Chain A
Amino acid sequence: MKIANNSNLDPNPALAAEYVEKPESLFKEMWDTLKQNKAAVVGLCIIVLLFLLAIVLWITDFLGIQILPYDPNYSDMSKSFLPPNSEHWFGTDQMGRDLFSRVLDGTKISLFVGVAAVSISLSVGVLLGAIAGYRGGRTDTIIMRIMDMLLSIPSILLAIAFMAALGKGLGKAVIAIGLVSIPEYARIVRGSILSIKESDYVQAAKVIGNRDRRIIFKHILPNIVSLIVVRATLGISTAILDTAALGFLGLGVQPPYAEWGDMLGRARGFIFSAPYTLIFPGIAITITVLAFNLLGDGLRDALDPKSRIK
């Protein structure tokens, strides 16, 4: 309960200030709930570790320093298909490359594609959803019907078609995966905006002569940012899975980059003779996606007023 800070009633204003309950920000409140969710904290810790690993690998790569046990792209055909041993913990692949180093190195590509693809779908989707929801009328109908059309094509099929059109490669995979998720963000943002655009503070902002752009970016979007954060967290896991799927089909990131899906696709022919080449990259994908799902679920629960009360 809030107690008014009224110095006329209380002879000691400093003491009265202590009684005043500071309004908590939504993020602070979310964090407090999230902290109690062990699974979400585990997810967050894994994500932090993966990002640290990826950043360190990018930097050392840039500086030309080798911190992995072996060069992930160095092939030595005399050492191909070595099963896991003390020298090569995950064994070696068909080109004699160390799988442990390649799996670790794959972290940077997967996280990069995940974050970059979500950035594309997020920025375009939020913008389209905001315009559709705020403007309404014909603009809304046109934008949302296009989104419906995109949603009625299975996303992986659409991503494959985009890749066929754009060509293979890292940047193109990011664009294809980013494009196919735009409708989801547009839908969420539009729905939220419809529910708050009639609220008093938005109307007040309109009355005092604010421009539409300012109202959308300063008054409406900050109110749904937490919702977008949850969706984006879960979206990264989907983007990582899609990246792996494209890589597996031979359409995604191309060599010399070590990418988990690509590693699985290329080792597929050795499923019975060297199954270990297919196990570890898959575990890496699953753990990474799991971590984002755990965090996303935790954030969603933290946002849900029912679970906050609990």
Chain B
Amino acid sequence: MLKYIVKRILMLIPVLIGVSIIVFLIMRVFSPDPAPIVLGQHATQESVEAWREANGLNDPIVVQYINFITGALKGDLGTSYYTKTPVTEEIMARFPATIELALFAIIIASFFGILIGIISAVKKNSIFDNAGMLLALVGVSMPIFWLGIILIIIFSGTLHWLPSSGRIEPLLRPMHVTGFYLIDTLIAGDMEAFVDALKHLILPGVALAMYSMAIITRMTRSSMIETLQQDYIRTARAKGVSEGNVIRKHAFRNGMIPIVTVIGLQLGSLLGGAVLTETVFSWPGIGSYTVACILKSDFPVVQGVVLLVATIFVLINLLVDVIYAFLDPRIKYSK
């Protein structure tokens, strides 16, 4: 098992180098020159040249890439063209907000997705099943950003129950410990701030969770239906095991494997979805920031973020495969 994990981690290296090359090519070879965008249209030719020289953009493209990758290996992703702040600092300042949002969303999506999926499978073809499947179908068909807009119109604009933007009221902002406001407010023992942070999290969290919840619901339902038809379920029932225990202990545990895979993959895709959700809810995370940086050609930031997101994505995939082996002893990774 350990050998397998080490092998998989080693296999990640070429994938990540490849990702860095792809992003580098898109941003530096095919994108327009960032100098006039950064310096403004009225910048003189000399200042443009000086700026390009200072930022290493006059070097041959291969040299630029080698500089980038050797820096990245040392944890230096360069500095933002605009703020002059190191990219790692820019990312670290915003990353907890995105992770908090994505984790909150995956918890909502997994809880409700599994719950609705199991009930739909157990009560197959009932009104509940049909309603659950309709919800799942609408969930995968609705644009995330539009759902966010509708939630804002209903819960902020009409009912005034929940805030429509930001992470917390500015005056309640907690001391930075972990960067996760829900945790930081609890550490500070400030319940008012905790409730406020939670209120800010609900709408973007639900909007982001909807698509994943729909996918998890569908997967749970089909996996549970298949498991419930197995012989060992019939045996358990014949032995007189209560229906609740049949579902919990026999069916759900065995049906879990594909569900865990889907949850893992969804967690990765939530990072992509966060780009749109954060834009709608003015969430100060990495997604909305990246869009802004792409639009103003802030190459170092974009490269850093994409590399980071891709690393997380492939690590999650690896983690899913490892959990897989724990859940299903039939899977062997020795080969």
| Contact for B295 among A153, A164, A279, CB less than 8 A | A164
Q: Are B297 and A164 in contact (CB under 8 A)?
A: yes
- Which bucket holds chain A's interface residue count? 35 or more
Interface set, chain A 148-177, CB cutoff 8 A to B? 148-150, 152-157, 160-162, 164-167
Q: Which residues of B contact A278 (CB under 8 A)?
A: 146, 149-150, 153
Q: Are B137 and A290 in contact (CB under 8 A)?
A: yes
Mark each residue of chain B from 276 to 292: 1 if its CB lies under 8 Å from any CB of chain A, else 0. Answer: 10011000000000110
| Contact for A279 among B137, B150, B291, CB less than 8 A | B150
User: Closest residue to B147 on the A side, CB-wise?
Assistant: A282
Q: Which residues of B contact A251 (CB under 8 A)?
A: 295
User: In the bound complex, how far is the Cα of B138 from the Cα of A249, in angstroms?
Assistant: 22
Instruction: Please choose the segment from A75-83, A197-205, A264-272 that sits at the chain B interface, where 4 or more of its residues have CB less than 8 A away.
Output: A264-272
Asked if A181 is an interface residue, CB under 8 A from chain B, the answer is no
Asked if A130 is an interface residue, CB under 8 A from chain B, the answer is no
Q: Which residues of B contact A155 (CB under 8 A)?
A: 272
* Nearest-Cβ distance from residue A306 to partner chain B, whole angstroms: 10
Asked if A47 is an interface residue, CB under 8 A from chain B, the answer is no
Asked if A44 is an interface residue, CB under 8 A from chain B, the answer is no
A152 with B15, Cβ < 8 A, contacts A157-B306, A161-B302 known: yes
Asked if B219 is an interface residue, CB under 8 A from chain A, the answer is no
User: In the bound complex, how far is the Cα of B27 from the Cα of A268, in angstroms?
Assistant: 28
Q: Which residues of B contact A245 (CB under 8 A)?
A: 143-145, 276
Instruction: Please choose the segment from B1-9, B44-52, B233-241, B309-317 that sits at the chain A interface, where 4 or more of its residues have CB less than 8 A away.
Output: B309-317
Q: Which residues of A contact B142 (CB under 8 A)?
A: 282, 285-286, 289
User: In the bound complex, how far is the Cα of B137 from the Cα of A294, in angstroms?
Assistant: 8
* Nearest-Cβ distance from residue A292 to partner chain B, whole angstroms: 8
Q: Which residues of B contact A185 (CB under 8 A)?
A: none
A249 with B291, Cβ < 8 A, contacts A152-B314, A154-B271 known: yes
User: Closest residue to A287 on the B side, CB-wise?
Assistant: B141
A160 with B291, Cβ < 8 A, contacts A152-B313, A245-B143 known: yes
Mark each residue of chain A from 124 to 158: 1 if its CB lies under 8 Å from any CB of chain B, else 0. Answer: 00000000000000000000011011101111110
Q: Are A154 and B275 in contact (CB under 8 A)?
A: yes
Q: Which residues of A contact B275 (CB under 8 A)?
A: 154, 156-157, 160
By CB atoms of chain B within 10 A, which of A146, A162, A282 has the most? Answer: A282
| Contact for A244 among B140, B143, B152, CB less than 8 A | B143
User: Closest residue to A261 on the B side, CB-wise?
Assistant: B143
* Nearest-Cβ distance from residue A282 to partner chain B, whole angstroms: 4
Asked if A186 is an interface residue, CB under 8 A from chain B, the answer is no
13 A-B pairs whose Cβ atoms sit less than 8 Å apart in the complex: A145-B18, A150-B22, A154-B271, A157-B306, A160-B275, A160-B291, A161-B294, A165-B26, A166-B30, A244-B143, A248-B143, A282-B150, A286-B146
Please report B residues at the A interface, Cβ cutoff 8 Å.
Answer: 14-15, 18-19, 22-23, 26-27, 30-32, 137-138, 140-146, 149-150, 152-153, 156-157, 164, 268-269, 271-273, 275-276, 279-280, 290-291, 294-295, 297, 302, 306, 309-310, 313-314
Please report A residues at the B interface, Cβ cutoff 8 Å.
Answer: 145-146, 148-150, 152-157, 160-162, 164-167, 237, 241, 244-245, 248-249, 251, 261, 264, 268, 271-272, 275, 278-279, 282, 285-286, 289-290, 293-294, 297
